[in-house]
Amino acid sequence: MQTKRLCPAIGTEIVGVDLSNPVSDETFEQVRKVWHESNGLVVIRDQKLTEEQQIAFSRKFGKLHTLQGHTVTKYLHPDHPEIYRVSNKVVDGKPQGRKGAGTYWHSDQSYEATPAHASVLYAKEIPPVGGDTIFASTQRAYEALSDTFKAFLLPLKAVHSFANASGGGFRNEVVTKEQLDAAPPSVHPIIRKHAETGKLGVFVNPGFTAYIDGLDPAESRAVLGYLFELVTKPDYQYRHRWSHNDMVIWDNRCTLHYAVMDYDGKGDRLMHRCTVIGETPLPATA
Ligand code: SIN
């Protein structure tokens, strides 16, 4: 297995791994080590995978999310509910996935009590140009804070809300009252300790973080406004230009991502995503 760092802040490309064969525990641990050392992002190109093989590899990270009852349930793969399809393709009047999914800064399912851990995204079809995904390291953002501001943020918690997203990230979807009732807001530490590496990161995102618990609304807006600007700063980013059969794995505990919607009407994009359920976010003091 060879590795090539993609940019200083985040991301490594791994070469010499075939995910179509059952991946041994030893190989998986090597991939996971590189993933952690790269601030939670690896790219593995040229993988020829069936749905079953993507699911089997993704399960090595943990239990998979099947997004049951969610507004996006209709976009799950009809034979494999572990696969969420992101696509602008329409065949016989039927959307082949969710168009415009993730076209805003977020980490997957941060509004849940146990937000997503790994997301494993596989490029089935990509447009001739465009349709990139941008990733940002929230650990590098944390490192940039002054000690005084780190100490101020340390005890604070933020409210992450699916309802927040229904006016934003899910604005093009029909979100029912039942779906909103089934997804109450979650309160998570703003400074999150990574459960495996122990590294600290800023765990807020513009897509789902609604307000900071215990602050006056104007104070909350000001602090979140600053943190959103920080965590989406180009200095902490890597922009992935997809090729057919790329597999990209990100760690939602320490990264944010943004899917760029610049290709509609210019080509088809079809991505298969497996999402691993994570743990309750740890505070810095854990
Ligand atoms: C997402 O999982 O947010 C979508 C990412 C992408 O399609 O690039």
Ligand 1 nearest atom to the CA of residue 84, by list position: 2
Within 6 A (CB) of ligand 1 lie 86, 101-102, 119, 121, 133, 257, 259, 271, 273
Q: For 146-178, write each residue's pLDDT tens digit.
A: 999 999 999 999 999 987 765 566 767 777 778
Cα distance between residue 43 and residue 122, in whole Å: 10
- In the annotation, is 257 catalytic? yes
Q: For 81-125, write each residue's pLDDT tens digit.
A: 999 999 999 999 999 999 989 999 999 999 999 999 999 999 999
Active-site option among 70, 80, 108, 188? 108
**What tokens does 256 get?**
């944010």
Ligand 1 nearest atom to the CA of residue 106, by list position: 3
Q: For 5-41, write each residue's pLDDT tens digit.
A: 999 999 999 999 999 988 999 999 999 999 999 999 9
pLDDT at 284 over 70: yes
Active-site option among 98, 253, 257, 272? 257
Distances (CA, A) of 144 to 18, 186, 232: 37, 26, 13
**What tokens does 209 get?**
């973080």
pLDDT at 42 over 90: yes
Closest C-alpha among 88, 226, 198, 111 to residue 160: 111
